[in-house]
Structure 1
Amino acid sequence: MTAITRRNMLAGTAAAGALALTGRPAWSEPQWKKYAGTKLEVILAKGPRGDNLQKNIKEFTALTGIEVESEQIPEQQQRQKVVIELSSGKPSFDVVHLSYHVQKRQFEKAGWLADITDFMKDPNLTAPDLVQSDFSAAGLTYASNDKGRMFSLPWSVDYFILYYNKELFAKKGVEVPKTLDEMVAAAQKLTDAKDGTFGFVGRGLRNANMTLWTNFFLNYGGEFLDAKGNILTDGPEAVEATRLYQKLLTTCAPPGVAGFNWMESMASFTQGRSAMWIDGVGWAPPLEDANASRIVGKVGYTVVPAGPKGQYSATYGDGVGIPAACKNKEAAWLLCQWMVSKAQGARLVQAGGGVPFRNSVLNDAEVQGGVKMPKEWLQSAIDSGKISKLGLPVIIPVAEFRDLVGAALTATLSGADPATELKKAHEQFRPILERSEKA
């Protein structure tokens, strides 16, 4: 575990690097004690990130003199509560944990978050190592508006990667696929229904299946929206991506896959019944847990294979922001930057509880040395960050989008024609999107 000191907690950059990246004097530090005695409230979605904060929050109080009360709520309930309170204009919290792939456009359009762009440039408020260039491209896309203004800090990212069973690959003499076509061919060779083993497993359940499918869609050259904000999920790229999805899940996946979410997919993979699985990088710890997995030490980790039009990892993530109505914005800002600090990011990734958006954390040799997961897992996260692309469109009715297109995908697993199903979903969703933008 990385030693935590005041320097590597929030400052930790070489003098020349600090000056080059920020334009501020080397080793300048914020006025950490300026808001001593202030009390802040934080609302969190339940999970490893919240656990990490609550476990170590006394360090922040020791550094700043700011007292912090935090509440973790199950994800769906937390999202609902946050929207209700922000809509009221009088939220009870000073810092909010937001789910980018669901809430970015909603928060942005409503103007619920404070603009933190100027805070980032203020040496009295911000540590010299906290710079925009340290966040992955996907993180900056999530945190910024179309004018480049930042309204949150990227916190934890979920890149989609390819998990594979090394033992099954070796048994069949199959090479790790570099392209989607190679992946289909490998899945077919690895499928032996009589033996109860299958070449591929992934989400087939309506709505949940979208996060798998978008990896194919993006790598076939798909874009969710055109320059005017019109949805683009019934074109040739979407159809071809769906044909691939359909082929994999109908010829190379376990029976009943149309009802699989990540839980069922993970179960099939950890029991050694499926040779490949594409899903979020954060699901890795159970695969290496002898109490939950039969394939400990046999798992390979790599980036999602390339498609005919590119190679991208569908990316999802979380951030932290300050309500525009907050009365303690500068104190809240100190907390936000501590939450995404190198020390907190190191703890998260070393425990396998998540992957920070900050490149300096993932590329730090000392941090890497303390990671409990296999080196291949960490490398897959680093490499995915270089090819990351948002896995869902930045729109308000994203749940309806996932429902309608997801239903089309699930229908193809029963033999329906991809082009027909996608066109139907497109026609159903288009007026929903138009109404949301006019509201």
Structure 2
Amino acid sequence: MISLRRRTILGGALGTLAAPHVNAQGGKPYAGTTINGSCFQTTYFEYLKTYFPQFEERTGIKVNFNMQAFPVYNQRTDLELSTKGSALDVINCTFIYSGRWIGAGWMTNLDTFTKDAKYTPAAWDPEDFAGGPQSAMKNAKGETFGYTWEAGAMIMGAARYDLIERAGLGLPKTFDELIKVCDAVHNKENVAAFTADKLHHWNWIPYLMGSGGAVFKDPPDNLTPTLNTPAAATSAEWYANLLVKYGPDGILSYSDDQSMRSQMSGRANMRTQAITWMVPLAKHDESVVKKTVRYGLMPAGPKGNFPGSNSHGLGIPAGSKKKEAAWEFIKWALSNETIAMVVKNHGYPSVCRMSVIKSPEFKQVLTLNDQDVAGLFLEVLQLGGKTGYMKYRTVPVYPQVGDKINKAIERIATKQQAAPEAMKQAQAEAIQDLQKAGIKVDT
């Protein structure tokens, strides 16, 4: 009954859609239509906005596109979606919220568009999107609710690799080597050895997994948190010390952009983060480290290598009253031609279409200081897809658990609590939140 009712509602919502009304004279199909879009602050849409006039000229659709800081965007969008409001027509389906937003029925099933030639030509090719990143945009039945514009493959970037070379070392390949390199280069020429941002529930988890720890017992089936284990406490203390001992002043308050700029300005050396934040070190006009930056895979721990691999997609809220026009925008924004244009003109790295990733042009754009960074990017995407270790991050409850992780790392780094106590508190608070949400946990 639940499945039937959901299909009926979904079919009713989309069954009223008419075919695009292109007139015989070749006029703009949606002349006078305005759609509202929203995303967190990101370079892809900063680049894409410069081409909005082309989209409007082609379709007649005007786009109001608003970007906010990552936590602000997610909070506002979560509220808007939960009320089935119609204020937004196109949104970013954020990786850590994808399970919640899709599972709650707050997003539109895009299969209705892609499987109907009235809306989508075969050449648009939904199967061209990389399977690993795209899996976060689907429900358990395999239905699609978003198409990915970013695959956030985590790599290592060393802004001042010349300092590492002078110390007789190379890019660290293990956690132990990372500490060894940090010890050798920290504060040489006033450059901090390491930098990061304050989103610990993204940055720390690869170090946790590499040390043998985990966030949940067996996601998505068993969501009992495992934050109070000895492995988690040891890893949290190790990571907090990495930040405080080797990071620049104020690192615990750094945003994504501030961390990137600490590298671009030559104030900090190494960072492990999604490739989007790494390419500007070699490409951005303001970067002073273009000639010294080098890239590599994230270091591996004693239990393996688990670089973060996330994805974000464009989708249509269930409450939108302009779904047709919204789909026209998504089709254009994520077409092979548009993505290839942004890659060519701006060097954007985190794309999800395999035809672009495997193109000679993509490899050329991401050959930085004679390094094949495109190869690193694809290697991380494939690594994440093989074992599914990123499943922890797309469960609907992860945002709440992630918040507890952020606060625990902060308490450890600032010496407010010892690591075992901080992680024990995070575990208890996470379990309390999960039980309130009706999630069964082991006791």
The verdict on a shared fold, with TM-score over 0.5 as the criterion, is yes
Partner AA of 1:422 in structure 2? M
What residue in structure 2 maps to residue 54 of structure 1?
A: 49
| Letter in structure 1 aligned against 2:29 | A
Contact 1:40 1:93 in 2 (8 A): no
Deviation digits for residues 347-367 of structure 1 (CA, Å, limit 9, x no counterpart) = 333314452122221221134
Aligned to 2:105: 111
For residues 323-377 of structure 1, what are the alpha-carbon distances to aligned partners after superposition, in whole Å with 9 as ceiling and x for unaligned? Answer: 2234554453333222211122223333144521222212211344356965544
> Distance between the aligned counterparts of 2:163 and 2:423, measured in 1?
35
Question: Which of residues 86, 105, 128 in structure 1 aligns to 2:81?
Answer: 86
The aligned counterpart of 1:433 is: 434
Match of 1:387 in 2: 383
Between Structure 1 and Structure 2, how many residues are aligned? 403
* Structure 2 equivalent of residue 404 of structure 1: 404
Q: What is the aligned partner in structure 2 of residue 418 from structure 1?
A: 419
Question: Per-residue deviation at 1:54?
Answer: 3.2
Q: Match of 1:356, SS? A: coil
**What code does the residue aligned with 2:409 have?**
L
Give yes or no for contact 2:35–2:62 (8 Å, CA) kept in 1: yes
Specify every segment of 5 or more residues in structure 2 that has no aligned partner in the other structure, as ranges: 1-18
User: 2-side partners of 1:55 and 1:120: how far apart?
Assistant: 26
Deviation at 1:306, TM superposition (A): 2.0
Q: Secondary structure at the match of 1:355?
A: coil
8 Å CA contact 1:156–1:355 kept in 2: the answer is yes
CA distance in 1, matches of 2:88, 2:407: 37
Moved more, 154-163 or 353-362: 353-362
In the other structure, the counterpart of 2:133 is: 139
Distance 1:49 1:255 in 2: 29
1:10 alignment counterpart? none
Matched letter for residue 436 of structure 1: A
After superposition, the C-alpha distances for 1:61-114 in whole angstroms (9 at most, x for unaligned) are 565x4523323242455445434443443413332233222x313312331111
Q: CA deviation at 1:320?
A: 1.0
Identity of aligned pairs, percent? 21
CA distance in 2, matches of 1:382, 1:238: 29
Instruction: Identify if the C-alpha distance between structure 1 residues 152 and 173 changes in structure 2 by more than 3 Å, giving closer, same or farther.
Output: same
Seen in structure 2, the aligned counterparts of structure 1 residues 200 and 47 have a Cα distance that, compared at 3 Å, is: closer
CA distance in 1: counterparts of 2:191 and 2:30, whole angstroms: 60
Q: Deviations over 1:237-268 (max 9, x none)?
A: 42343243144235444455444444554344
Question: Judging changes above 3 Å, is the alpha-carbon distance between structure 1 residues 194 and 153 closer, same or farther for their aligned structure 2 residues?
Answer: closer
- Deviation per residue, 1:116-172 (Å, 9 max, x gap): 234333444334354454333442232011222211111123222211122011111
Q: Which residue is equivalent to 2:91?
A: 96
CA distance in structure 2 between the aligned counterparts of 1:220 and 1:32, rounded to whole angstroms: 57
Tell me the residue number matched to 1:338: 332
CA distance in 2, matches of 1:290, 1:324: 38
Aligned counterparts of 2:256 and 2:75: Cα–Cα separation in 1: 23
Structure 1 residues 50 and 312, CA, compared in 2 at 3 Å: closer, same or farther?
A: same
Contact (CA 8 Å) 1:214, 1:391: kept in 2 or not? Answer: no
| Alignment match, 1:9 | none
Unmatched tracts of structure 1, length 5 or more: 1-29
Instruction: Note the C-alpha offset of 1:60.
Output: 4.0
Quote the residue 1:36 is aligned against.
29
Q: What is the SS of the residue equivalent to 1:288?
A: helix
Q: Is the 8 A contact 1:54 1:70 kept in 2?
A: no
Q: 1:149 to 1:198 in 2, by over 3 A?
A: same
Specify the alignment match of 1:230 in structure 2.
224
Other-structure match for 2:200: 209
Farther off after superposition, 125-134 or 348-357: 125-134
* Corresponding position of 2:360: 365
Shift of 1:53: 3.7
Which amino acid in structure 2 is aligned with residue 340 of structure 1? Answer: L
Which residue identity does 2:84 align to in structure 1? G
Task: Report the equivalent of 2:185.
Answer: 190
Runs of 4+ in 1 over 6 A off after TM superposition: none
SS of the aligned residue for 1:174 comes to coil
Q: Which amino acid aligns with 1:384?
A: V
For normalisation by structure 2, the TM-score amounts to: 0.78
C-alpha displacement at 1:434, in angstroms?
A: 2.4
Deviations 1:160-200 (A, max 9, x none): 22111220111111022222232222222333x57644432
Aligned to 2:5: none
The alpha-carbon deviation at position 295 of structure 1 amounts to: 1.9
